[in-house]
């Protein structure tokens, strides 16, 4: 094996990349992480972390930080749509550390995870951008740059941990804009009337969103809306920020939102990103592993993005550290096959469930039909939360 700069190069320092880096560095691997943004960074994210991730956060060494800085425990799940406000018990994880999930500000989470990876021995190139990845067959060479400087890093293997909406380092098929594209928005409010122990889905024609209390007495509002619906409401609200136009639209279609936000005050700027690309993609190809949203992404309607990112990092690190660092493509392919199978077992069903939920709750007639049913049997909300992965812990044994 060629003498490379590092055993593994990880491109992307978010929860997926940082978790993978931390676990590999602790196992004695030489690790480099390339992250293009300075932390703390604003990020479109629902910020909820399921209780299923508590054992992993303990292993990562951030559970105490999470318990100190996260928002209140979420005991109930809700659904706001049309004139209905329905709540049910949140199914809880079967672990001894925590029964209930909580929300944690992404700027806090990103920084603490990447700092932990750095403390474990990972080299962190930040803010540097990976501009080109060259496959030398025996190893990889990645060109990285800032506005003022550039260099190269060689590695036996590469892990891509970019977000799915990032410009891909390894180019795939370009997709044009479509009316059905989902564009995401996020901000925070004070004095929102949402109950402290409640995380609620919001659904409206052409989109969905979520509400949850986070660490500093504010409520996170995150939502997705179809491109064509956004264009229509922006045309109807000239001069209004896109996020404010979306909020007005939600309030016009959902009685519960009007009630919860009657005295609310926005305390942060609107953030936006998109289009989102939910779905199952690849976990490994030709010496390159994929982790986090780039490997597969659930519709954010199920609030599992952060948990899936960190958990996929554990699955990949666990698959890699069972063997010594290698650049042998045959051995990497075997590891990739094992990682892919375990990834699908852990996440595929919730991704499919999320796609189903998103299709149903963004259309008026199926929403109305389902609302009537759930209004009579609220435990169906608890069942949907179970399908979304709220009780599925990692296979630590």
Q: Which long-range contacts (CB under 8 A, 24 or more apart) does 315-324 make?
A: 315/339, 315/342, 315/343, 315/346, 315/394, 316/20, 316/159, 316/283, 316/289, 316/291, 317/19, 317/20, 317/23, 317/24, 317/27, 318/23, 320/8, 320/24, 320/29, 320/289, 321/23, 321/24, 321/27, 321/29
pLDDT at residue 172 in the model: 55
* pLDDT at residue 111 tops 80: yes
pLDDT at residue 214 in the model: 92
Distant-in-sequence, close-in-space partners of 64: CB < 8 Å, separation ≥ 6: none
pLDDT at residue 93 in the model: 79
Higher pLDDT: 170 or 296? It is: 296
pLDDT at residue 163 in the model: 76
Contact by Cβ (8 Å): 31, 8: yes
pLDDT at residue 325 in the model: 83
pLDDT at residue 349 in the model: 97
User: If you average pLDDT over residues 59-70, what whole number do you get?
Assistant: 96
pLDDT at residue 166 in the model: 64
* pLDDT at residue 59 tops 70: yes
44 to 100, 187, 212, 298, 357: CA distances (angstroms): 23, 8, 14, 15, 21
Cα angle for residues 9, 14, 16 (degrees, 5° grid): 70
Give the rounded percent of residues in the chain with a pLDDT score beyond 70.
96
Of 139-143, 153-157, 160-164, 361-365, least confident by mean pLDDT is 160-164
Of 129-133, 216-220, 294-298, least confident by mean pLDDT is 216-220
pLDDT at residue 345 in the model: 97
pLDDT at residue 170 in the model: 66
pLDDT at residue 94 in the model: 77
Give the rounded percent of residues in the chain with a pLDDT score beyond 90.
85
Name the average pLDDT for the chain: 93
pLDDT at residue 309 in the model: 98
User: If you average pLDDT over residues 177-193, what whole number do you get?
Assistant: 95
Report all structural domains of the chain as residue ranges with CATH numbers, in order of start: 6-172+277-387 (3.50.50.60)
User: If you average pLDDT over residues 240-250, what whole number do you get?
Assistant: 96
Residue 71 to residue 82: CA distance in whole angstroms: 28
173 band by pLDDT with thresholds 50, 70 and 90: low
Tell me the pLDDT tens digit for each residue of 12-44.
Answer: 999 999 999 999 999 999 999 999 999 988 899
pLDDT at residue 174 in the model: 61
User: If you average pLDDT over residues 357-363, what whole number do you get?
Assistant: 94
């Amino acid at each position: 094996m060629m003498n490379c700069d590092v055993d593994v190069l990880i491109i992307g320092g978010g929860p997926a990349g940082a978790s993978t880096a931390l676990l590999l560095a602790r196992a004695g691997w030489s690790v480099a992480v390339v992250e293009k943004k300075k932390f703390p960074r604003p990020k479109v994210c629902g910020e909820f972390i399921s209780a299923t991730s508590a054992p992993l956060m303990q292993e990562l060494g951030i559970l105490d930080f999470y318990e100190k800085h996260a928002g209140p425990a979420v005991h109930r799940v809700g659904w706001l749509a049309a004139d209905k406000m329905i709540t049910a018990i949140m199914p809880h994880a079967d672990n001894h550390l925590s029964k209930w999930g909580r929300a944690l500000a992404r700027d806090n989470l990103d920084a603490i995870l990447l700092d932990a990876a750095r403390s474990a021995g990972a080299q962190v190139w930040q803010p540097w951008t990976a501009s080109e990845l060259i496959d030398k067959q025996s190893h990889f060479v990645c060109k990285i740059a800032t506005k003022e400087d550039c260099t190269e890093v060689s590695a036996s293997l590469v892990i891509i941990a970019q977000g799915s909406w990032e410009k891909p380092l390894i180019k795939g098929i370009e997709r044009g804009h479509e009316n059905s594209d989902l564009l995401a928005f996020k901000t925070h409010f004070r004095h929102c009337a949402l109950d402290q122990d409640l995380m609620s889905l919001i659904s409206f024609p052409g989109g969905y969103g979520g509400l949850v209390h986070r660490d500093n007495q504010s409520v996170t509002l995150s939502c997705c809306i179809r491109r064509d619906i956004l264009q229509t409401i922006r045309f109807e609200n000239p001069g209004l920020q896109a996020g404010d136009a979306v909020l007005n639209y939600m309030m016009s279609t959902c009685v519960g939102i009007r009630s919860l936000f009657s005295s609310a005050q926005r305390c942060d700027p609107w953030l936006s990103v998109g289009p989102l690309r939910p779905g199952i993609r690849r976990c490994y190809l030709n010496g390159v592993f994929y982790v986090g949203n780039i490997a597969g992404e659930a519709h954010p309607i199920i609030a599992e993005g952060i948990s899936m990112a960190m958990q996929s990092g554990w699955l990949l690190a666990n698959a890699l550290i069972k063997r010594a660092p290698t650049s042998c493509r045959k051995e990497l392919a075997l590891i990739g096959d094992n990682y892919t199978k375990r990834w699908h077992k852990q996440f595929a069903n919730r991704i499919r469930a999320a796609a189903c939920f998103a299709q149903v709750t963004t259309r008026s007639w199926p929403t109305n039909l389902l609302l009537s049913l759930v209004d009579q049997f609220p435990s169906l909300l608890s069942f949907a939360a179970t399908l979304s992965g709220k009780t599925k812990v990692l296979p630590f044994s």
